[in-house]
Amino acid sequence: MNWSDCTAPGLDDIAALAEEARESLPAPFHAAAQRVVIRVEDFATDAMLEDVGLTDPFELTGLYDGIPLTERSVMHQPHQPDTIWLFRRAILDEWLARRDVSLGQLVTHVFVHELAHHFGWSDADIARIDRWWE
């Protein structure tokens, strides 16, 4: 194989994988997931990292930015859409380090994990259901 013309998956490639994951969700989650914006950047901003107590941008593959459905009231007036951020470089770094999942599987996992926060699940709730990291 001639590797000289190969490139790493770009922002649009990661976004397309996340959209595929969203489209494959079961019916009970599909409609709510459509109302969440997916944004892909190379890295989290310093402010995002600080909000979650991290300093290394390679440690954050995704982030949910919004008010979970379980915390909303009828008075809720959103100032911005709920957003799932995916961080391409951190995802690619983890994918290369793991070597046991496809890039599509990893993007799907990160997307679904962040979507679970939209539904109001804590990291502990998600860990009880999703044994991914074992």
Tell me which H or E stretch contains 29: helix 27-34
Q: Domains of the chain: which residue ranges?
A: 8-70+79-129
Residue where the block lists tokens 């979650």: 52
For position 78, what pLDDT does the model report?
Answer: 66
How big is the CA angle at 128 (ends 33 and 68), to the nearest 5 degrees? Answer: 35
Burial of 13 (0-12, 13-18, 19+ CB in 10 A): middle
- The CATH number of 8-70+79-129 is 3.30.2010.20
Residues of the chain with pLDDT > 70: what percent?
A: 91
Using one digit for the tens of pLDDT, what is the confidence trace for 71-100? 777 676 667 889 999 999 999 999 999 999
Determine the average pLDDT of the residues in 106-114: 93
Tokens in use for 2? 């001639």
Whole-model pTM over 0.85: yes
Does residue 126 have a pLDDT over 80?
no
Does residue 22 have a pLDDT over 60?
yes
| Choice among 1-10, 11-20, 49-58 with the minimum mean pLDDT | 1-10
Tell me which H or E stretch contains 94: helix 88-98
| Choice among 16-20, 36-40, 77-81 with the minimum mean pLDDT | 77-81
